[in-house]
Amino acid sequence: MEDLKSRILALQKISAGLEPTPSQRDNYFNEVNDYSNSFLNGLSTSGTYSPEKVRHEAFALGKEPKSLEKILRIFEEEVAGKGIKPASGGYMGYIPGGGIYASALGDYLADITNEYAGMSFASPGAVAMEHELLNWMKSLFGFPESAVGNLTSGGSIANLIALTSARDKHKIKGATIEKSVVYLSPQLHHCNLKALRIIGLEDVIIRELKLDEGSRIVASDLKQKLEEDKAAGLNPFLLIASAGTTDTGAMDPLNELGEIAEANKLWYHVDAAYGGFFILSEKRKHLFKGIEKSDSLAVDPHKGLFLPFGLGAVLVKDREAVFHSHHRSANYMQDAVENDSEINPADVSPELTKHFRALRLWLPLQLHGIKPFVACLEEKLLLTVYFRERLEEKGFALGPEPDLSVSYFWWPLSENETNFNKKLLKEIHNDGTVFFSSTNIEGCFVIRMALLAFRTKIEHVDRAVELLDKARNRLLGRL
């Protein structure tokens, strides 16, 4: 026994390194805080994109510990200094994540306390906070209090939960799958198609609907396809609409689609991951009429509320469909089941292990209030208009006026237009000051701008226009 005790104490001495002393914690915190301030203060002058390759050997794990100073240097050089810098105001590609500072404080506290947010029995406060945020979202989107929800890692899991519930509500399984029909936009975010495949619906019939000149679903085409499919003995069961497409920022006609879905007993899902929180804008609220008719919706606070990547949300009206898909009991969890009165997040999601995500949203909303979030959304809408006007002055061709803050443009040429615009985008990437992405609209290559990063200001737009103008002139000079 004494030998066993001495071995335990020896290991205890070594493992104590995982618990820094108060003074060590202060030193660590100060070093990280100094780096954080240096990073944030330098965003206005540093680039947004670097094509430089990562040195993989820098991440090799050695047997001996490194100083935090050296670790932060590796992080700065190989992570923060390469690829896209989403924290930058010059990030205008894809759909930017946010990164507000207050969320980092929430994550810090969540990690320090290490609350388990999957079961109310384990952390009633963490679960209650999640429910409060979900109830707030229910009120925003006109969902009943009886709806269930979950804070997820992002839109992909949020959409997955909703579509799984639709599958189980309509009992789409076995021989039914190949006769069942899903209706969607060709511009629907691909994570929905990925989710259908993951949940065993790879062989359903997918009907891509016609779009109008603003890339919105044409409701009359949905009606026609439904009639044809019913006449052919098929099983229409799911309609997916977008509240802000990733490609063009389009808002599908939510109200009209909701009425059609209700009349035809379809599960109506709205992917509002990108655009959902624009409902807070009085100037765009009308575009969301009908979202309350949906059976489920996905929305991402890490987009429209400018949080760091890692927080989405799903709301579903039919709680029984969600429970059928996700609720499961286990012997070792019997204490939690007996003591829980609230809906457990783990019972409405594929996740059992649940990070305390709520704090990264609740803390900023409490600290700042909602007003600056709304102002930031309004600012992005106006910046999109301003950007398009500046580009038009320079002679660029523009896509249709967007519903939200994503649009596209290109330099018009009679010959080799696609090749020219690909080279133009590469010039911008090589410069690195700002970052745009590209997409294909009706087979044509276009440059895509997405204004949602909360640090994007009018000076970033002016700088981007100047860079585009100079790069365009350089390329034309070479021609």
pLDDT at 207: 98
* CATH hierarchy code of domain 371-478: 3.90.1150.170
pLDDT at 337 over 80: no
Domain spans, the chain: 108-368, 371-478
The 397-398 sheet, strands edge to edge: 397-398, 406-410, 444-450, 437-441
pLDDT for position 328: 67
* Mean pLDDT of the 26-54 span: 94
The full length of the chain comes to 479
H-type alpha helices, 342-446: 359-368, 371-393, 417-431
- The tens digit of pLDDT for each residue in 153-202 reads 999 999 999 999 999 999 999 999 999 999 999 999 999 999 999 999 99
C-alpha 120/C-alpha 231 separation (Å) is 49
Q: Quickly count: other Cβ atoms within 10 Å of residue 338's Cβ.
A: 8
pLDDT score of 44: 86
The average pLDDT across 30-55 equals: 94
CB distance 314 to 408 below 8 Å: no
What confidence tens digit (pLDDT) does each residue in 98-151 have?
A: 799 999 999 999 999 999 999 999 999 999 999 999 999 999 999 999 999 999
Q: What are the structure tokens assigned to 441, written together?
A: 């609209």
The DSSP bridge partners found for residue 208 are: 184
d(CA 451, CA 440): 19
* Residues 104 and 278: beta-carbon distance below 8 Å: no
d(CA 26, CA 33): 10
- CB hemisphere CA count around 169 (13 angstroms): 22
pLDDT digit string (tens) for 407-425?
999 999 999 999 999 999 9
**Domain 108-368 carries which CATH code?**
3.40.640.10
With a cut of 70, say whether residue 333 has pLDDT above it: no
Do residues 188 and 245 make contact, with C-beta atoms less than 8 angstroms apart? yes
Q: State yes or no: pLDDT of 434 exceeds 70.
A: yes
Q: 334 pLDDT band (50/70/90 cuts)?
A: very low
β-pairing, 312-316 vs 296-299, is: antiparallel
Average pLDDT value for residue range 197-209 = 97
pLDDT of residue 336: 42
- Euclidean distance between CA atoms 258 and 253, whole angstroms: 9
**Any idea of the CA torsion for 79, 49, 304, 103, to the nearest 10 degrees?**
30
pLDDT at 353 over 70: yes
The pLDDT, as a whole number, for residue 325 is: 86
- Confidence at residue 342, expressed as pLDDT on a 0 to 100 scale: 77
Mean pLDDT, the chain, rounded, equals 94
Q: For position 327, what pLDDT does the model report?
A: 80
Check pLDDT > 80 for residue 276: yes
Name the percent of the chain lying above pLDDT 70.
97
The predicted structure's pLDDT at residue 402: 94
pLDDT greater than 70 at residue 340: no
Name the band, by pLDDT with cuts 50, 70 and 90, for residue 58: very high
pLDDT confidence of residue 341: 56
The dihedral through the CA atoms of 109, 112, 156, 292 has a sign that is negative
CB 307 within 8 Å of CB 158? no
What's the rounded mean pLDDT across residues 423-442?
95
What is the phi/psi pair of residue 119, to 5°? -135, 135
Check pLDDT > 80 for residue 406.
yes
For 366-393, what is each residue's pLDDT tens digit?
999 999 999 999 999 999 999 999 999 9
* Six token digits for residue 424: 């133009």
- In the prediction, which pLDDT does 97 show? 73
How far from the centroid of its chain's Cα atoms is residue 5's Cα?
51
Q: Classify residue 101 as left (phi > 0), alpha (psi -120 to 50) or beta.
A: alpha
Q: Is the pLDDT of residue 329 over 70?
A: no
Residue 452 vs residues 278, 376, 384, 406: alpha-carbon distances, Å: 11, 9, 10, 8
pLDDT at 63: 87
Residues 247-267: what's their mean pLDDT?
97
